[in-house]
Amino acid sequence: MALEQVKRHIAELRESINLHNYHYYVLDDPAIPDAGYDRLMRELVRLETAHPELITPESPTQRVGAQPLPEFSDVTHQIPMLSLANAFTAEEVTAFDQRVRDRLDEEDIVYSAETKLDGLAVSVMYDNGKLLQAATRGDGTTGEDVTQNVRTIPIIPLTLIGNDLPERLEVRGEVYMTREGFRKLNENQERRNEKQFANPRNAAAGSLRQLDPRITARRQLTFFAHGVGQYEGTVMPESHIDMLQQLKRWGLPVSPQTKQIHGVQGCLDYYHDIHEIRDNLPYEIDGVVFKVNDFAQQKVLGFVSRAPRWAIAYKFPPEEEITKVIDIEVQVGRTGALTPVARLEPVTVGGVTVTNATLHNEDEIRRKEIWIGDTVIVRRAGDVIPEVVCVIKEQRTPACRKFHMPEYCPACGSDVERMEGEAVARCSGGLYCPAQCIQAILHFSSRRAMNIGGLGEKLVQKLVEKGYIRNVADLYSMTEKELAGLERMGKRSAANLVKAMEKSKQTTLERFLYALGIREVGEATARALARHFGSLEAIQQAEQEQLEAVPDIGHVVASHITTFFNQAHNNKIIQHLLDAGIFWPMVQANQTRLLEGKTFVLTGTLQTMSREEVKQKLLTLGARVSGSVSKKTSFVIAGVDPGSKYDKAQALGVPILDEKDMLEMMKHHQR
């Protein structure tokens, strides 16, 4: 390919890539799939690698790759980047509107309204459509040159789109980080054992001010334009909204929440509407901004001190405040997880009085170095539980003291268990702990455990609240009369529930083990324990090493089992359950896996028992039950109206058993 052809092809590729960036980032309407975009970029990289003399600074390939800077240089803003006056009440916004109307001698003012991003203000200069320079706001007159870093932000075009571009255009806007980008950044920081950021604004500011632009490029920064500074070479639009639309046509992103409104009531309505959706936005905002829309009117209004008279920021109630940690208490959740909670000096955050804040876990307390008595910054976002963001260590006094996680559950006194590699500490008194009572009963009575039909969550909550039951053993002492006396619980329902509880007493050892709710002991582990030891007593008395000898049971699960059975409370409740009449057929240890290595598939309707019952019997005999037929399937058990599995078994030559064959096989293997 001749050099001139290469030049033309490179120019076409750059134009096409810039256009696709515009559709993807600004219009949020991709014109081609990612694979198509990647092909264009790879082709451009190939050609520029072969012809490095044709590489230009505004090429899409040049976003990342500049060398780290020794320091940032200063940039003087030819038109100062002024701050906005703030309003915190509807009365202050009304007063602002009154001042504007009085100065303009107008009855009704048209405003532009937009969200106030919680990010970092920047100025991006374009020369004949090409990105020339970018700078932070700084003190409004002098900022820092962050051109290399801004070039790494994909949403900011290196070259503007269109034929009507001004010779000089200074775009002003906000660099910010989305909530999702912030979450991923802190996850990466944690993996690398590096400092995590307190909030998206700090993360955005810290990322944009990296001396190494390669670090900035990894930080998922983005940008919204909200105005202009210098503007030379073409006729300027007559209003702020028109200007934003023009910037969007040139390829610059603007907030989709920007709209034109009328009068002070329009301002107040917009504020309330945005406040309602605030927590659903993909980025954080701390208020809204109102600007007189007409540029001619803005010029008449002018400036006062360091702020324009034609604009105001209506701030949301602060979501971060300073307070003190009075104490740290530990709450026990329904699953036994212990969560430390900070008791705070009351403080208003986001319009709500906050007295408590979650501390998540012990590691989080250590990482943030939170002591009882510390002065801290508390954050609340919408309905999210408040949390302690950081400690103001300069205000720590000798009276402050470190927090230590309790060794025993504050709700029941059982041992607190925290396994190596886990962040959460847990109570080991699952059957006894009152904090875990409801969850323990629901699990115990579930279909795959003791299968007590009719015992739903609302009923369990009611029984616990009224003091009828405190643990799973109390279930079997409930009478029809007591149950029938509950609200919305008739005699028939009470009788049915008592029958279901009575029926549940006849079970299997593996179901009973699973019903106990021992951490990480699911159905398969319970089955392995029952087959290996043969009796509940043997499992209760087993040492750690004996448990680890069971197939598929490792050190962690074995620790959970020994810790559970070491709690006298748990063993006492188990004995109450056995005394209530729960029993199961004797299991011969290590003698029941006669179908070991065989895989069965069930299809159709069985007459003598349900498919679930058949599955459990097969599992007890050591077989594997699969949901699909393959060449590795040993047998397909077919009931009435078998489906496609039957046809596939025939096609593959897999042996097919009817219900009579199945019963005979089970009878034979249970001898």
Nearest to 17 by CA among 178, 174, 161: 161
C-alpha span between 92 and 88 (Å, rounded): 7
Indicate if the pLDDT at residue 420 is higher than 50: yes
Boundary of a domain, candidates 366, 395, 424: 395
The pLDDT value given to residue 381: 60
Same domain flag for 298 and 362: no
Are 219 and 183 in contact, with CB atoms under 8 Å apart?
Answer: no
- Is residue 464 assigned to a domain? yes
The residue from 7, 116, 315, 598 that is catalytic is 116
The pLDDT value given to residue 67: 58
Mean local confidence (pLDDT), 287-316: 91
The pLDDT value given to residue 35: 67
pLDDT band at 608 (very low <50, low <70, confident <90, very high): confident
Q: Which of 260-264, 365-369, 665-669 has the lowest mean pLDDT?
A: 665-669
Structure confidence by residue, pLDDT tens digits, 245-254: 999 999 999 9
The pLDDT value given to residue 612: 81
Per the structure block, which two tokens stand in for 299?
């010029």
CATH number assigned to the domain comprising residue 361? 2.40.50.140
- Is residue 45 assigned to a domain? yes
Active site residue 116: yes
Structure confidence by residue, pLDDT tens digits, 39-59: 787 788 888 888 888 888 778
What 3-state DSSP class applies to 283? coil
The pLDDT value given to residue 25: 59
**Buried residues in 198-233 as b, exposed as e (16+ CB within 10 A):** ebbbbbbbbbbebeebeebbebbbbbbbbbbbbbee
What 3-state DSSP class applies to 485? coil
Boundary of a domain, candidates 367, 395, 423: 395
- Is residue 415 assigned to a domain? no
Mean local confidence (pLDDT), 428-443: 90
C-alpha span between 370 and 359 (Å, rounded): 9
Using alpha carbons only, give the angle 532, 560, 624 rounded to the nearest 5 degrees. Answer: 40
Same domain flag for 161 and 272: yes
Boundary of a domain, candidates 292, 315, 338: 315
CATH number assigned to the domain comprising residue 138? 3.30.470.30
pLDDT band at 63 (very low <50, low <70, confident <90, very high): low
Same domain flag for 99 and 245: yes
- Is residue 428 assigned to a domain? no
C-alpha span between 462 and 511 (Å, rounded): 26
C-alpha span between 393 and 40 (Å, rounded): 52
Same domain flag for 53 and 97: no
The letter for the amino acid at 16 is: S
Same domain flag for 198 and 309: yes
Nearest to 381 by CA among 595, 568, 570, 118: 118
Ranges 33-37, 236-240, 613-617, 618-622, most confident: 236-240
Mean local confidence (pLDDT), 260-282: 93
Indicate if the pLDDT at residue 671 is higher than 50: no
Q: Can you say whether the dihedral through the CA atoms of 300, 304, 306, 310 is positive or negative?
A: negative
Structure confidence by residue, pLDDT tens digits, 509-521: 999 999 999 988 9
Same domain flag for 489 and 505: yes
Q: Which of 282-296, 370-384, 516-530 has the lowest mean pLDDT?
A: 370-384
Q: Which residues pair with 290 in a beta bridge?
A: 113, 312
Same domain flag for 105 and 197: yes
Same domain flag for 354 and 263: no
The letter for the amino acid at 479 is: T
User: What distance, in Å, lies between the first and last C-alpha atoms of the chain?
Assistant: 83
Q: Which residues pair with 378 in a beta bridge?
A: 321, 388
User: Which DSSP symbol is given to 23?
Assistant: I
Q: Residue 90 burial by CB count (10 A; 0-12/13-18/19+): exposed, middle or buried?
A: middle
What 3-state DSSP class applies to 505? coil
C-alpha span between 448 and 468 (Å, rounded): 25
Mean pLDDT of the chain: 87
Q: Which residues pair with 387 in a beta bridge?
A: 358, 379
- Is residue 258 assigned to a domain? yes
State the pTM of this model: 0.51
What percent of the chain clears pLDDT 70, i.e. is strictly above it? 94
Same domain flag for 462 and 386: no
CATH number assigned to the domain comprising residue 494? 1.10.150.20
What contacts 24+ positions apart, CB below 8 Å, involve 478-487? 486/459, 486/462, 487/462
Same domain flag for 131 and 241: yes
- Is residue 548 assigned to a domain? yes
- Is residue 422 assigned to a domain? no
C-alpha span between 306 and 298 (Å, rounded): 15
Same domain flag for 444 and 543: yes
pLDDT band at 405 (very low <50, low <70, confident <90, very high): very high
Q: Residue 89 burial by CB count (10 A; 0-12/13-18/19+): exposed, middle or buried?
A: exposed
Per the structure block, which two tokens stand in for 349?
């955050």
Q: How many helices (H) and strands (E) does the chain have?
A: 24, 24
Tokens 């409930």 -> residue: 478
Tokens 């005394």 -> residue: 579
Domain count, the chain: 5
Mean local confidence (pLDDT), 394-418: 93
Q: H or E element: which one contains 666?
A: helix 659-669
C-alpha span between 589 and 534 (Å, rounded): 4
104 vs 267, 269, 305, 309, CA distance in Å? 18, 23, 19, 11
Are 414 and 442 in contact, with CB atoms under 8 Å apart?
Answer: no
pLDDT band at 230 (very low <50, low <70, confident <90, very high): very high
Same domain flag for 450 and 572: yes
C-alpha span between 284 and 287 (Å, rounded): 9
User: Which residue range forms the structural domain that includes residue 135?
Assistant: 86-315
Strands 375-379 and 320-332 come out as: antiparallel
- Is residue 79 assigned to a domain? no
CATH number assigned to the domain comprising residue 659? 3.40.50.10190
347 vs 85, 324, 339, 353, CA distance in Å? 25, 9, 22, 5
Structure confidence by residue, pLDDT tens digits, 551-577: 778 888 999 999 999 999 899 999 999
Tally the residues of the chain: 671
User: Which DSSP symbol is given to 25?
Assistant: I
